[in-house]
Structure 1
Amino acid sequence: MLQATSLDNTVDALRAGGVIAYPTEAVWGLGCDPDDASALTRLLRIKRRDPAKGVILVAASLEQFSPWLEGLPEERRAVLAEPQPQPTTWLVPDNGRAAELVRGEHDRVALRVSDHPLVGELCRAFGGPLVSTSANRAGEPSAMSAEEVTRIFGDELDALFDGPLGGHTRPSTIRDLATGQVLRA
């Protein structure tokens, strides 16, 4: 049975190509190294998610997204740096850095700087962004606790970084950086 793991053991699992569970702002998430194609493939298989949909990347700071933001005009970067009233995932034009499984069938990549302290701690310890997709089987409700994650996924995951959710009641808002359009409120 999957047990809670320390920060160091969770980071070790990520670096070894593992798939992890961790609390986010509103729901539990599944994550892996966005640059590890086999980990991404495994995460999508565990979740039963259509690879064409793509996934969100989460980071502790905008600086951690630097490779994904190369070539982005300064005025667009300024928009990304503006404080938002709620967690916001931005759809940013792909500069060729995002793996196909991250981007899915889209020409943009979904990026969110998280203010959740444990997500920040995890991304800083890992040294960069992580995949962040809700901890559920596709089409099912998202896990709201470590116990639900364990019930849903059993031993399919490599680490569980336990802690409280961030206190938001809904997943992040998704906005298109180019147009400002809200795609998910």
Structure 2
Amino acid sequence: MPYHSTFKIRNAIRHIKAGDVIAYPTEAVYGLGCDPLNEAAVRTLLDIKQRPIEKGLILIASSLAQLRPYLILDKTILEHIQPTWPGPVTWSVPARPWVPEWLTGAHKTLAVRVTNHPIASQLCAHYGGPLVSTSANPSTQPAIKDSRKLLKTFAALDIFILHGKVGGLNQETAIYDAVSGKRLR
């Protein structure tokens, strides 16, 4: 990774550690993200997104190891998820009892993905853990793929934007149930 990109990643991480919400490119759209264990940051993200807490959120990571502490995994679940990662597939996996409601919403599961987007993956790797990831748009509006539109949409907010190219997916990532293997979205 070029030096300036490393600098930008580290700058984004400084914002995350300060409790800020950031925007960054993912496999299909720009995402909004923050520290998943910082309740104030997650609630700020939900307010920006105008998303009800009951819906729950997605965590992205650079490896399964980053997600393991959050999840109840068994052989069947691992057989479902491991062949699809890293990649643009999100799985709804049983969450450990300690995982906060601001992540799971009204569910006993947590939506997770090991991303293959180079910037999002490097962001998680350098951060040392998973990040919240939800599309960077108010809930009633279409997802954003262009940084200019992102700047316009969130101009009034103090959001750090990690600029980069969005991946080639035409729609947001699919979500599957990790126990049954059935597609949810």
Q: Tell me the TM-score normalised to structure 1 length.
A: 0.91
Matching residue's letter, 1:138: S
RMSD: 1.8
Structure-2 change in CA distance of 1:35 and 1:84 (3 Å): closer
**Residue number in structure 2 paired with 1:160:** 161
**Residue number in structure 2 paired with 1:18:** 20
Matching residue's letter, 2:19: G
Structure 1 residue runs of 5 or longer lacking an equivalent are: none
Matching residue's letter, 2:37: D
Kindly report structure 1 stretches of 4+ aligned residues shifted beyond 4 Å.
none
**Residue number in structure 2 paired with 1:6:** 8
Query: For residues 159-181 of structure 1, what are the alpha-carbon distances to aligned partners after superposition, in whole Å with 9 as ceiling and x for unaligned?
Result: 11110011111111100011111
Structure 2 residue runs of 5 or longer lacking an equivalent are: 1-6
Matching residue's letter, 1:31: G
Taking the aligned partners of 1:57 and 1:119, their CA distance within structure 2 comes to 11
- 1:148 Cα shift? 1.1
Taking the aligned partners of 2:84 and 2:57, their CA distance within structure 1 comes to 23
**Residue number in structure 2 paired with 1:47:** 49
The reply on whether 1:104 has 2:105 as its aligned counterpart is yes
Partner-residue secondary structure (3-state), 2:181: coil
Q: Tell me the TM-score normalised to structure 2 length.
A: 0.91
Tell which has more relative contact order, 1 or 2 (C-alpha 8 A, sep 6+): 1
- 1:46 Cα shift? 1.0
8 Å CA contact retained: 2:85, 2:115 = no
Taking the aligned partners of 1:52 and 1:83, their CA distance within structure 2 comes to 27
Taking the aligned partners of 1:24 and 1:113, their CA distance within structure 2 comes to 11
Query: For residues 113-171 of structure 1, what are the alpha-carbon distances to aligned partners after superposition, in whole Å with 9 as ceiling and x for unaligned?
Result: 10000011000111110000000011101111111111111142431111001111111
Partner-residue secondary structure (3-state), 1:82: helix
Matching residue's letter, 2:116: D
- 1:97 Cα shift? 3.6
Taking the aligned partners of 1:77 and 1:86, their CA distance within structure 2 comes to 15
Range moving further from structure 2, 90-99 or 102-111: 90-99
Matching residue's letter, 1:65: L
**Residue number in structure 1 paired with 2:66:** 64
Taking the aligned partners of 2:101 and 2:32, their CA distance within structure 1 comes to 18
Between the two proteins, the alignment pairs up a number of residues equal to 180
The percentage of counterpart residues that share the same residue type is 40
8 Å CA contact retained: 1:91, 1:177 = yes
Partner-residue secondary structure (3-state), 1:163: coil
Taking the aligned partners of 2:177 and 2:55, their CA distance within structure 1 comes to 16
Taking the aligned partners of 1:107 and 1:87, their CA distance within structure 2 comes to 22
8 Å CA contact retained: 2:35, 2:42 = yes
